[in-house]
Structure 1
Amino acid sequence: MKSRFHYLILLLLVLALTACGTSRGPGPAPDREQDAAPRNPPDLSSVPDAVPRAEPRSRYGNPASYEVFGQTYHVMDSADGYVERGVASWYGTKFHGRRTSSGEPYDMYAMTAAHTRLPLPTYVRVTNLENRRSVVVRVNDRGPFARNRIIDLSYAAAHRLGMVEQGTALVEVRALTPGEPVQRVAGGEVPTQLPVGTGVYVQVGAFASRTNAEQLLGRLNGQGLSGVGIHEGRRPDGTVYRVRIGPLDNVDLADRAVQDLERIGLFDYHIIVD
């Protein structure tokens, strides 16, 4: 009886993750044509930001690891100190009312988001680096599972960030700690001291050896990829040589570069906003 109970719990977890295992939001996702914004959306200008509060972890949404589309994801032990820049997408009517990975129904009019690795729930501030708009959302779902996206926003959050029409945006995602004061920003814009960067790169590799970086550079040039270079940087353990494509003018060009990389069998890449 006990083993059957454990089997049922595992089955519920797999179903929850599978239900959210579609690459959602605008972009290269194969099912984007089936997702959309609502036809007659309500006025979302007054929807408040999520308010960080201490909550227990979701019972079913935080396995140590899980697999979607052959990719294994490891859930973080803690969101403390998490900051990342990259590309955001959003998801809408197709998933409205469906069960999220945390077990709650997805509400596209609430200030929520999906993330592949952050603990559920986690509160984050998402800043659109292109127009400086900022929102606080509650991460309660898993996704996006397109490899070149870092967060999937609810329709309401995407609307507030001004990214519904273009479908994607360059963003900064910063975890918030419940109980600490959340800086409110006038007009939804980030404070002026935030360094806003809009340079988009596709990073293909990072090496301690320049020779290894040059070998990868030669392979990419030999395949006809343009705009590839080696960017030298410093880390606590020494010099790092990053092989990057860019800077690129927009997300569409980054997506095309990603397609070129996958065409030649390279899948270990990251879109970087620097």
Structure 2
Amino acid sequence: MLTAAGVLLGVLALAACAQGPSGGAGGLPGGGIYKVGKPYQVKGVWYYPAEDWDYDETGLASWYGPGFHTESTANGEVYDEMELTAAHKTLPMPSLVRVTNLDNGRSVVVRVNDRGPFVHGRIIDMSRRGAQLLGFEGRGTAKVRVQVLADESRAIAIAARNNTPAPILAESDGPAPRAAPRARVDVATAQAPPPAPAERPVPQPTTVPGATVAGRFLPAPVVVDLPVSRRDGVYVQAGAFTVADNAARLRTRLSGLAPAGVSQAVVNGQRFYRVRIGPIADVGEADALLERVIASGLTDAKIVVD
């Protein structure tokens, strides 16, 4: 785990977050509901929500605000572009993640309470305030690392589950898909945390500065400077395999689109053969190439930063 080199306190007052609507979408509790959700498809790509407490990924972040401010999020909260929140395609709502800008080392903790971004090649959509604190509001995108805070996320999930109607919990915990148009399907089988007794308050996370506002735990606007190694390489990763021959076949298949290479990586003791195109200097060029790769039928393709 990286050690903080310094801490900068943001100027946003958490008390301001308490202003505004107290109810959620469709009369849902103002603190939002707990939601994982069933597999879904957007623009030809399938997404598989799961309680992934080991989530740790690099890629490109974007931010959203205008046009969404005060609208309902995917779990029934009211979106405030000046709160430290974010949209993610698969992580539980709510959950807490640490987002680190790999260009400048700035890092913040945000509450995931929405789905998105549904632009291929982006792994997280930050609120305007999050983008400001990470230093990329003007640029629009940033190379980031996104890490779920497992224990803290479990704590706020218990509180949210207590505020969620049983039928919605049942829908959120729907079965894994039996078939989908993907080259490879990874199914996570995480056990949902048991709800805490209603008469006992759920303590807020003690490892993350923040406050409970309108029934929700919101991280404080604290920026931590982390000693990161600069990562300039942007790649389109078409697939990752445990069998080298499978990676070689995919590399050959991509030869008509762009030259691809195969690199190795060990994750949790397992060796993977990653098929990648790049490095690519321009984000726009990477976006265009990713669209072509997905259009060829490789819907697992994504942009990674290394």
Fold shared per TM-score above 0.5: yes
Corresponding pairs, count? 220
Code of the aligned partner of 1:232: Q
Say yes or no: does 1:241 pair with 2:273: yes
User: What is aligned with 1:20?
Assistant: none
Corresponding residue to 1:136 among 99, 103, 109: 109
Shift of 1:213: 2.3
**Deviation digits for residues 212-267 of structure 1, max 9, x if unmatched?**
3222222222x1413x2111334567643221011222422321221231343432
**Deviation digits for residues 173-225 of structure 1, max 9, x if unmatched?**
122233342489xx934322x4453322111122333333222222222x141
Say yes or no: does 1:216 pair with 2:250: yes
Structure 2 Cα separation of the partners of residues 208 and 111 of structure 1: 37
Map of 1:24-39 to 2, 5 A cutoff? none
Is the 2:120–2:287 contact (alpha carbons within 8 Å) kept by the matching residues of 1? no
User: What is aligned with 1:12?
Assistant: none
Corresponding residue to 1:159 among 122, 132, 151: 132
Distance 1:116 1:236, change over 3 A: closer
Say yes or no: does 1:147 pair with 2:120: yes
Distance 1:163 1:180, change over 3 A: same
Q: TM-score, normalised by structure 1?
A: 0.69
Is the 1:102–1:120 contact (alpha carbons within 8 Å) kept by the matching residues of 2? yes
Structure 2 Cα separation of the partners of residues 125 and 215 of structure 1: 36
Structure 2 Cα separation of the partners of residues 183 and 59 of structure 1: 22
Percent sequence identity over matched residues?
43
User: What is aligned with 1:59?
Assistant: 33
Say yes or no: does 1:197 pair with 2:170: no
User: What is aligned with 2:168?
Assistant: none
Structure 2 Cα separation of the partners of residues 224 and 62 of structure 1: 36
User: What is aligned with 2:12?
Assistant: 47
Moved over 6 A (4+): none
- Please identify, of 174-183 and 110-119, the stretch whose mean Cα deviation from structure 2 is larger: 174-183
Unmatched 5+ residue regions in structure 2? 1-8, 15-30, 153-204, 211-221
Q: With CA pairs under 8 Å and 6+ residues apart, which has the higher RCO, 1 or 2?
A: 2
Structure 1 Cα separation of the partners of residues 49 and 246 of structure 2: 31
Is the 2:84–2:129 contact (alpha carbons within 8 Å) kept by the matching residues of 1? yes
User: What is aligned with 2:264?
Assistant: 232
Unmatched 5+ residue regions in structure 1? 1-43, 50-56
Shift of 1:268: 2.1
Is the 2:102–2:229 contact (alpha carbons within 8 Å) kept by the matching residues of 1? no
SS at match of 1:212: helix
Distance 1:68 1:90, change over 3 A: same
SS at match of 1:253: helix
